[in-house]
């Protein structure tokens, strides 16, 4: 039989579980920008580094590796917000989808070997592909948008059935690329209107020795003084 103390402790434990952060729970804005984009229908559509003459399989491998690079960058760049779980998710993806990632890398290696004059030139081209791919996801101004998007894509990638990385990469690559463009709060206007707040002119030309507005010199007074506001009048020279 549960005592009153036991019931109280159970209630506290339940409340703590409800309050615990969930994966990708970070909310930087009241309303975030919608970065979603259309699925990629052509693996060589320009969302990955260009691979001239690539086959469809090589293009898909490039998309898979590009998504891996994006999630890798997020694992390093988004640790400022632990509830996004980008680091842990990325490490789990490497383990759970190891075979697919290995196959994608092998396909890319085969492409650069096939299209280069020498083995050394192919290796150099492959290294450049990797460096440029990682660099293409570096962002500062859109870090919030990129990190939230990468966290969501990483979560879906982790729980995807093995063999489905190419599908996820095609479905979400445009979204990942879109998230590199900075957008702020969408619930409220990003900027306060220019006329929402103005300051009075404080230069000596506009005020006489008795602190009265000189309308002849500076035109109508835009900021009536407190005494004038209370009386409903506007002071100034004739």
6 compared with 219, residue with greater pLDDT: 219
Mean pLDDT of the chain: 81
Q: Tell me the per-residue pLDDT of 173-219, one tens digit each, with 9 for 90 and over.
A: 999 999 999 887 777 765 555 555 567 778 888 888 888 888 888 88
Does residue 16 surpass a pLDDT of 60?
Answer: no
Query: What's the pLDDT at 96?
Result: 93
The pLDDT tens digits of the residues spanning 80-125 come to 999 999 999 999 999 999 999 999 999 999 999 999 999 999 999 9
Residue 39 has pLDDT above 70, yes or no: yes
Q: Which two tokens stand for residue 41?
A: 């229908």
Contacts 24+ apart (CB under 8 A), 163-167: 163/100, 165/64, 165/67, 165/97, 165/100, 165/101, 165/104, 166/60, 166/63, 166/64, 166/100
């Amino acid at each position: 039989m549960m005592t009153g103390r036991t019931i109280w402790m159970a209630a506290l434990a339940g409340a703590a579980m409800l309050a615990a952060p969930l994966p990708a729970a970070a909310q930087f804005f009241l309303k975030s920008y919608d970065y979603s984009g259309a699925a990629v229908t052509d693996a060589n559509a320009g969302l990955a580094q260009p691979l001239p003459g690539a086959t469809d399989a090589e293009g898909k491998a490039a998309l898979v590796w590009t998504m891996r690079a994006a999630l890798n960058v997020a694992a390093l760049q988004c640790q400022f917000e632990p509830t996004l779980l980008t680091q842990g998710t990325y490490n789990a993806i490497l383990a759970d989808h190891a075979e697919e990632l290995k196959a994608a890398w092998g396909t890319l290696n085969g492409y650069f070997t096939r299209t280069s004059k020498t083995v050394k030139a192919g290796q150099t081209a492959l290294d450049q592909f990797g460096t440029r791919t990682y660099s293409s996801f570096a962002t500062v101004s859109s870090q919030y948008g990129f990190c939230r998007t990468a966290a969501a894509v990483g979560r879906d990638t982790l729980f995807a059935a093995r063999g489905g990385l190419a599908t996820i990469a095609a479905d979400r690559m445009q979204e990942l690329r879109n998230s590199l463009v900075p957008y702020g709060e969408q619930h409220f206007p990003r900027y306060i209107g220019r006329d929402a707040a103005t300051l009075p002119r404080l230069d000596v030309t506009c005020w006489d020795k008795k602190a009265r507005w000189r309308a002849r010199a500076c035109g109508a007074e835009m900021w009536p003084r407190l005494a004038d506001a209370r009386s409903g009048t506007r002071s100034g020279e004739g």
